[in-house]
A and B are shown apart, each in its own frame.
Chain A
Amino acid sequence: MLATIIQNLINALQWGSFYALIALGYTLVYGVLTLINFAHGDIFMVGAYIAFFVATFFLTTAELPGWAALALTIPLTMILTSMVGVALERVAYRPLRRKGANRLYVVITALMCGLILENANLALLGASRKAFPPMITEHVYNIGGVIFTDLKIAVIVTTILAFFVLHKIVTKTRVGMAMRAISYDKFAVPLMGIPMDNIIVITFVLGSGMAGLAGIMFAMSYPILEPYMGALIGWKAFIAAVVGGIGDIRGAFLGGFLLGAVEILVVAFFPSTFRDLIAFTVLLVILAFRPTGLFGVAKTTKI
């Protein structure tokens, strides 16, 4: 029984890792721009596809061994995915911001960008699924009836590390200070000589980089890619970010793991039909007691 519980907790940590990494991207952009970047789930999907092409290139064309391919694929995927995020900001969000458009229009634009990414993928690559090439051989370990693979542990550890790095950047660096300053008052900040556009670009780089990292780890754990894979998981990660308190990266991190844990544990002990029902009821109850989320504080510094 104990082994089953620990087993389910490991499963939950792995599944929650993806929600947490994607939720971090939502919360960063929201914290700085108060923009809900609904295209973020699809940036995650693009990240997984970029990882697919990069990994295939290194494995088949460059014929590198698996570990070398992996070591190159991770940073390259994160960089390329960041570029997609920044490109989106440049062509879709910045012109609207320049014209002083209402937030509603920017959110709608974000939704449309997500659909464009999905359908462009469908048009370019077709509806057929892609099988992600295995880069490392996974080993299965069994400790006292709890079974896990090295990949599973690596996913959880990487997510936690990524969170601490991000947290460090936001709280301890000058860039992070500028990000927090913009979220505090975006009219006074440019007057202080802080280059707002650059800081916003960095925000998108960080958020999309996390999505790219989530994309490559997701593709390794669930090695079948399809154009709509980011839609549902993106929505759920957004809800996780809101429950954690959108705008606060600790909230996104914990919210992601919370949602993952609730989903896995519900399926483990109830019929799977109840998963979304119970999961979202729990989140609703949390929001009813804390409308700003676990870490959210109404109208103060966010991020």
Chain B
Amino acid sequence: MKKLRLLVLLSLVALFATPALAADTIKIGFNIPMTGDIPKVGEMSKQSAEMLKADINSAGGLEVGDKKYMLEFIYEDNEAKAESAVTTALKLIEKDEVLAMIGPNSSKQAVPAGQVANDNETVMVTPWSTNPDTTKDRPWVFRAAFLDPFQGPVAVNFAVETFDAKTAAVLYDLSNDYSKGLAEIFKDEFEKKMGPNTILAFESHGTKDQDFSAQLTTIIATKPDFIFVPDNYNQVALIVPQARKLGYKGQFMGSDSWGSAELMTLCGDSCKGLYFSTHYAAAGATGATKEFIDRFNAKYGVVPDDVAALTWDATRVVLLAIQNAGNLTGKLKKDRKAVREGMAAITSFEGITGSMKFDEQGDPIKCAVVVKISDTGTFEFTKSVCP
């Protein structure tokens, strides 16, 4: 019985594999964190990409020029480390010979990997990275997310209006490009708006830290109106409860790195009622966004977080660029150049995280939303801010 099942399985595989082998394939690499500090980010990216691949391959492949190509996605783990992201990028570009690369997701990895992609003249689109340095002066690097110089003021304005705040404190991860960059932008913007020295404490910590009591004691002693925490969700889940246990009763303001599907399983009740700025709000979505959320939910049993949605958009942008490139020659260097020109030819794109226009740096101009973590743990739409 077992043997028979295996035989059936094998023949099925053969049946499906044969046309895939016969047709030409397009290889796209994914440089994502499947282990390390933020494994949920990699998992969500991969699930989203798999869904898109299944869609296109089951329809016979991607039509480029007058030919159909099957898609082949290669997922490589960058362990959420900057140095691994660089070697992973090199492996995808040189050994796997991908046509374009999606990821890395965090700026910590995307900034160094962007240099590799740019040097090797391969198109890279990062779904989630918001640090300006990722794409700055790198014609081959693009992104699907908004930028921190935009996100920072969104957080400042929202907090000032909603919390009626006059002062603030910041706690950030010093060894993370994203966290440090956004913390500095936030500080500049807040002090520009509310006057000098209104940031009462500007404290940092390391990526592997578990105890934040010393930093939080300093912060709480200054009595800020709220604390801005541009940290990854796993650290947020430690910082917020620790602050509560040190007697802090005020508000927190978060950034898009909070928005993982795993935040609430780790943080629990402590995080309810807090706000953070992000790319999209799953609760209350309409149109194509709702359709994506429903299908994702049906397939994997979870509501897709912003990384999943942004990976979907980033991958679709790349596929559109490949279609724009016209005919693929099979010569890698030439085709990659054509894809880069195809990317540059996209002026506006309707994504599920909102419509975006690309500027000359390869950055999209798009809206941000602020969500509130509801009592049931969902991320509720509160406000939308457009540039």
Residues of A within 8 A of B (CB): 4, 7-8, 11, 14-15, 122, 126-129, 131, 134, 138, 140, 142, 147, 149, 151-152, 222-224, 226, 228-229, 232, 263-265, 267-268, 271-273, 275
Contacts and interface: CB of A to CB of B under 8 A. Distances in A.
B244 A4 contact: no
B40 interface: yes
Contacts of A224: 210, 234, 237-238, 266
A15 B214 CA distance: 10
Interface in B211-235: 211, 213-215, 217-218, 221, 234
Interface stretch (B31-39, B307-315, B330-338): B31-39
A126 B39 contact: yes
Nearest to B203: A272
B246 A147 contact: yes
Contact of B208 (A14, A128, A152, A232): A232
Given A138-B245, A222-B238, A272-B203, A128 B213 contact: no
Interface string B185-225: 00000000000000000011110111101110110010000
Contacts of B58: none
Contact of A271 (B204, B210, B247): B204
A152 to B, nearest CB: 7
A284 B266 CA distance: 38
B124 to A, nearest CB: 24
Contacts of A11: 211, 213-214, 217
Given A128-B40, A140-B247, A224-B266, 7 more contacts: A4-B217, A128-B43, A129-B234, A131-B266, A134-B268, A142-B247, A147-B245
B215 A267 contact: yes
A37 to B, nearest CB: 22
Contacts of A223: 241
Contact of A147 (B43, B237, B247, B262): B247
Contact of B35 (A127, A232, A273): A127
A131 B247 contact: no
Chain B: interface residue count, which band? 20 to 34
Nearest to B266: A131
B265 interface: yes
A263 B215 CA distance: 11
A78 to B, nearest CB: 21
Nearest to B235: A224
A131 B203 CA distance: 26
A131 B266 CA distance: 5
A151 B213 CA distance: 14
8 contacts: A15-B213, A126-B39, A129-B234, A134-B268, A223-B241, A224-B234, A267-B214, A272-B214
A8 B214 contact: yes
Nearest to B37: A226
Interface of B: 34-36, 39-40, 43, 174, 203-206, 208-211, 213-215, 217-218, 221, 234, 237-238, 241, 244-247, 262, 265-268
Contact of B217 (A129, A131, A268): A268
A149 B242 CA distance: 10
A161 to B, nearest CB: 22
Nearest 9 CB-CB pairs, A to B? A127-B39, A267-B214, A147-B247, A11-B213, A127-B35, A268-B214, A222-B210, A264-B214, A131-B266
Given A129-B262, A129-B266, A140-B244, A7 B210 contact: no
Q: Which of B174, B204, B206, B214 has the most CB of A within 10 A?
A: B214
Contacts of B267: 131
A134 B203 CA distance: 28
Contact of B265 (A7, A8, A131, A142): A131
Nearest to A7: B217
B34 A127 contact: yes
A18 B263 CA distance: 26
A114 B267 CA distance: 29
Q: Which of A4, A122, A222, A267 has the most CB of B within 10 A?
A: A267
A61 B237 CA distance: 25
A126 B262 CA distance: 14
Nearest to A223: B241
A15 B211 CA distance: 8
Nearest to A141: B247
Contacts of B247: 140, 142, 147
B245 A140 contact: yes
A182 B313 CA distance: 66
A229 B265 CA distance: 19
A256 to B, nearest CB: 14
Given A149-B245, A222-B238, A224-B234, A128 B211 contact: no
A118 B200 CA distance: 40
A149 B247 CA distance: 9
A224 B37 CA distance: 12
Nearest to A222: B210
A273 B174 contact: yes
Contacts of A128: 39-40, 43, 262
A265 to B, nearest CB: 7
A234 to B, nearest CB: 12
A128 B265 CA distance: 11
Contacts of A126: 39
